[in-house]
Structure formats: structure tokens, C-alpha cells
Amino acid sequence: MLWPMLALALAVTGIAVLAVPAVRVFVEVRRLARQVGESSRRITRAAEDLERATAPLGGHVDALRRGRDDVPASDEGLSPDGVLSSESAADRGQGLTHGSAG
């Protein structure tokens, strides 16, 4: 009768020992979930603020692009998006073309 009681006592003790870290993990997971939720809300709020701030600027940029008839010399070779066009750089001799060593 002693061995079954000892086995039962050890089983209960083992469950209690494992329950303490399980509760701690559960509490930390809930805390982390709250932090992730708050961070997500802050990121969403910042993205919305950025969208609201850039909307008027987009209209100004479009108006400026439509208002320009000629491109200033500093913007030569740039596409309307401000990206350097490889064809225009090669036409001016300011870059290596594909397959040439210089």
C-alpha cells in the first residue's frame, strides 16, 4: 500500500511542479499578445497618418508635373518617376552599355 500512495504523491507533485511554469507561460503569452495588438494599432494609426499627410503632397506633385513643359538640365535622363533611364544615359555617353568594357 505504501508504493501506490508514494506513486500517487509523486504524480500530484509532478503535476503541481509543471503547472507553475505553465501558468507563467500563459501569463507571458497574454502579455505579449496585448503588446502585439497595441503595436499593430499604433502601426495602423501611423500608416493612416502618413496617408493623410501625403495625399495633399501627391496633388501638388501632379500639378507640378503637368505644369512643366521642359525638363531642367539636372533632370535629363530621368523618367517621370525620377528614375535614371539607361537609354538616355547611354545616348549621352555617360554610362557603359551592355556588353561593352568602356
50 phi and psi, to 5 degrees?
Answer: -65, -40
SS3 84: strand
The DSSP code for 85 is P
C-alpha cell at 86: 539607361
Residue 73 above 70 pLDDT? no
C-alpha cell at 39: 503595436
Q: Residue 65: its pLDDT value, please?
A: 83
What is the tens place of the pLDDT at every residue in 10-42?
A: 999 999 999 999 999 999 999 999 999 999 999
Q: What is the mean pLDDT of residues 70-74?
A: 49
Task: Name the residue ranges covered by the structural domains of the chain.
Answer: 8-49
Q: How far apart are CA 95 and CA 91, in angstroms?
A: 9
The three-point CA angle 47-49-55 to 5° equals 100
What is the tens place of the pLDDT at every residue in 88-102?
A: 444 454 444 455 454
Q: What is the mean pLDDT of residues 44-69?
A: 84
Q: Taking the CA of residue 15 as centre, how many other CA atoms within 13 Å lie in the half-sphere pointing to its CB?
A: 5
Cβ neighbors of 95 (< 8 A, separation 6 or more) are: 86, 89
Q: How far apart are CA 72 and CA 101, in angstroms?
A: 31
